[in-house]
Amino acid sequence: MMANEEYPKIYLYRRLVQAKLFIDAHYADNIDLSNIADEAYFSKFHFIRRFKNIYRKTPHQYLIFVRIEKARELLKANVPVSEVCYAVGFESLSSFSHLFKRVVGLAPSAYLTQQQVIKAQIIESPLTFVPACFAEKYGWLEK
Give the pLDDT confidence of 76-104 residue by residue, as tens digits.
999 999 999 999 999 999 999 999 999 99
The stretches in the chain having pLDDT less than 50 are 1-4
Contact 75, 84 (CB under 8 A): yes
What's the confidence (pLDDT) of residue 118?
A: 92
What's the confidence (pLDDT) of residue 4? 47
Q: How far apart are CA 100 and CA 121, in angstroms?
A: 24
Biggest CA pair distance of the chain: 69
- CA pair distance 110, 113, nearest whole angstrom: 5
pLDDT of residue 143: 61
Looking at residue 1, what is its pLDDT?
44
For residue 53, the model assigns a pLDDT of 92
Q: How far is CA 3 from the centre of its chain?
A: 35
